[in-house]
Chains A and B, each alone.
Chain A
């Protein structure tokens, strides 16, 4: 099932709020997980596992290391789910 960028972004917002307590309104495509959103390497693992479950996909570890921004994650998930 194809997902839109907006649907995935909405899901990521919920996950990051749950994991890191970040105000969802501030979670935008260009934000860096570590620099802007207080998602450290451990919490990033939580985000990834929650995203896999929510979107029914697998995110390989080498892809996780490339996900610097919210947009990187959203775009990967959109393409992986299509």
Chain B
């Protein structure tokens, strides 16, 4: 195991709950929902008519000319990265030791579909020359890398709804194995559009609780009927501990382990046995070397789908064994909706903040807890976490059978 320890020194977010980390975290602790009705002109034949758009439009947060050259997912990533980088104190780092890993589940789908409309209606000459850089899934990572001059490597893992977590894990590895000292990492997604939503709806993956948007995302409730599509970005600055200490950086917490597995089972359905998810959690713990009794909190993937929530809950119970009874489980998608490739990153931020502030965010909208759920769910209001050294897991799973578990620990300067 590498002796290069990795800490988190900066956070940034643009989410359905807020335009930055502070506003997002505050709304999360208050149990607010970011889910809204879609505009009145939303196609009538798409059964899901609700989503969780970002709380503040990028046009209020960045320059007009920049906006026209960036896909919406790139706008989100740049806005969140600027916040995270500033939050980290704009670390002075040799550019060859600075990396970027920013994921997306789908890439620039709004650009792709918009450009196809232009092609059909106005002809090829009118297709913007910015189209390809805007639709490529690595565009968000590339733009951030160019802005901060990152030359250790710029990467974009793609694993559907596990993408954002995989990016954080990849960044962790880049620092541990010596490729970089500072890495800007996270995920972004902007896919609220009739086409992807028609596709998700036809998979029966989306909630159709259209008459009650704020109550629609309800992980672990017995009447949950699917996820609510969200959008936004979460970005973390990961840094070599020695590098952070040398510049007296404020340290939110430590990344101590990750587990990456695959189901080899089905392109969309979770393995009902949850063995891949179980192994991911077990690997994260085993690779960290920490005492598993310090794990007191878990931010679940829990998207509010009937099958997924149960499969994951079983995996958590199995992986944690008797310790599961001491783990406060939060399903924050009940408030943010599901940011797809942004989810694992935004939820990593929540997990890190939960450790730093010693408070687990609530899970809202559980009216009747599914009787198959035996976990200790944090319901309705936040819960205090214990003093001393504590750790927390963040789970993310993606269509295709991708399983990622990240393990974080509290950090106290000695």
Contact = CB atoms under 8 A, between A and B. Distances in A.
Contacts of A42: 69, 129-130, 133
Contacts of B121: none
B129 A21 contact: no
B125 to A, nearest CB: 6
A21 B65 contact: yes
A28 B68 CA distance: 24
Nearest to B65: A21
Contact of A46 (B63, B129, B133): B129
Interface residues of B, number: 11
B129 A45 contact: yes
B65 A49 contact: no
A21 B63 contact: yes
A39 to B, nearest CB: 11
B381 interface: no
A20 interface: yes
B65 A46 contact: no
A46 B128 contact: yes
B59 to A, nearest CB: 14
B248 interface: no
B414 interface: no
B120 interface: no
B65 A20 contact: yes
- The majority secondary structure among interface residues of chain A is helix
A21 B64 contact: yes
A81 B133 CA distance: 33
A21 B133 CA distance: 19
Interface in A34-82: 42-43, 45-46, 49, 52
A11 to B, nearest CB: 18
B126 interface: yes
A46 B118 CA distance: 14
A49 B64 contact: no
Interface string B113-128: 0000000000001101
Nearest to B132: A42
A49 B125 contact: yes
B130 A49 contact: no
Nearest to A44: B129
Nearest to B63: A21
B115 to A, nearest CB: 13
Interface in A7-46: 19-21, 42-43, 45-46
A20 B63 CA distance: 11
A64 to B, nearest CB: 12
Nearest to A17: B65
Contacts of A43: 69, 129
B63 A49 contact: no
A44 B361 CA distance: 49
Contacts of B65: 19-21
A46 B68 CA distance: 11
Shortest Cβ-Cβ A-B pairs, 9 listed: A21-B65, A45-B129, A42-B129, A42-B130, A49-B125, A20-B65, A46-B129, A21-B64, A49-B126
11 contacts: A19-B68, A20-B65, A21-B63, A21-B64, A21-B65, A42-B69, A42-B129, A42-B130, A46-B128, A46-B130, A52-B125
Interface of B: 63-65, 68-69, 125-126, 128-130, 133
Interface of A: 19-21, 42-43, 45-46, 49, 52
Given A21-B63, A43-B69, 17 more contacts: A19-B65, A19-B68, A20-B65, A21-B64, A21-B65, A42-B69, A42-B129, A42-B130, A42-B133, A43-B129, A45-B129, A46-B128, A46-B129, A46-B130, A49-B125, A49-B126, A52-B125
